[in-house]
Amino acid sequence: MLKERIITALLLVIALLTVLFFASEDVGVVLFGLLLLVAAWEWAGLAQAARPVIRAAYTLLTALLIGWLAWWTPTGDMPAPFLWLQLLVWVATAVLLARFPVAVPRPAVALSGLVILPLAWLTFAHVLKTDAFGAWWALYLFVVVAAADVGAYFVGRRFGRIKLAVQVSPGKTWEGLFGGLAFVALVSLGAAWWFDVPAPHVAALSLAVAAVSVIGDLGISMLKRSIGLKDTGQVFPGHGGVLDRIDSLLAALPVYVIGLRWLVSP
């Protein structure tokens, strides 16, 4: 299982690097949008839409919202209220996590997906297409999220004792969380040198992004557990569905852009 996960992860890394550095920005934005449409199909499942026609309609509605955002903001602009709206959804998710087990109404699950997925697309497009940010800063977002995940996994396996959210994700521990944050802090030192920005500033940004990414991971896990689902899909061998892979990224995106606007003046 671990071998399968590693092979899949390596292939995903190769695909990500190819898209970011060997394709145009528009290609990267379009491909991310297509990925989010698969995630929309899975999110409809989290809202307990069992019939394929309902899932297809939900996916189509997500596509229309992405298309409207692309038409409305063709230069990759990102209005600040859209960032705060995403954060509001993740704050609400954190509140539900603290109260779990709690029933999450199906309409609320469906509506949250229609907010998060299209706006996540616009946020990623903003990072990729803004001259002051671009492909390298887009890559660093993935690096931070991956570092938090990898650090938490290995530290949690070796030293994990105190459960982080036992009713949502029994395998996660506080030791793993702090191990992931420590790994991110180390990674941020390299980023400070690469981007030529103050180390304390990029460390603060990186740690904030890593911390919030955990809410995305646990939030999707909470929705899965509430309906008795193990994975959101079977797209990636050993990794489950698209949402299982990008849940942390979805929560991290608005915090990352808010931080970048503070760290790097467009």
Nearest CA to 47 out of 210, 199, 220 is that of 220
Count of structural domains within the chain: 1
**Among candidates 257, 262, 263, 248, which has minimal Cα distance to 125?**
257
The pTM for the full model equals 0.92
Q: State both tokens at 44.
A: 């409809």
Q: CA 48 to CA 51: how far, in whole Å?
A: 9
Give me the tens of pLDDT residue by residue for the chain, a chain 266 residues long: 556 667 777 888 888 888 888 888 889 999 999 999 999 999 999 988 878 999 999 999 999 999 999 998 877 788 899 999 999 999 999 999 988 888 788 899 999 999 999 999 999 999 999 888 999 999 999 999 999 999 999 998 888 889 988 888 888 999 999 999 999 999 999 999 999 999 999 999 999 999 999 999 999 999 988 888 777 766 655 557 889 889 999 999 999 999 999 888 65
d(CA 230, CA 217): 13
Residue type, 225: R
pLDDT at 145 (0 to 100): 96
Q: For residue 158, how many C-alpha atoms fall within 13 Å in the half-sphere facing its CB? A: 9
φ, ψ of residue 171 to 5 degrees: the values are -80, -15
What is the CA angle 153-155-161, rounded to 5? Answer: 100
Domain containing residue 51:
2-263
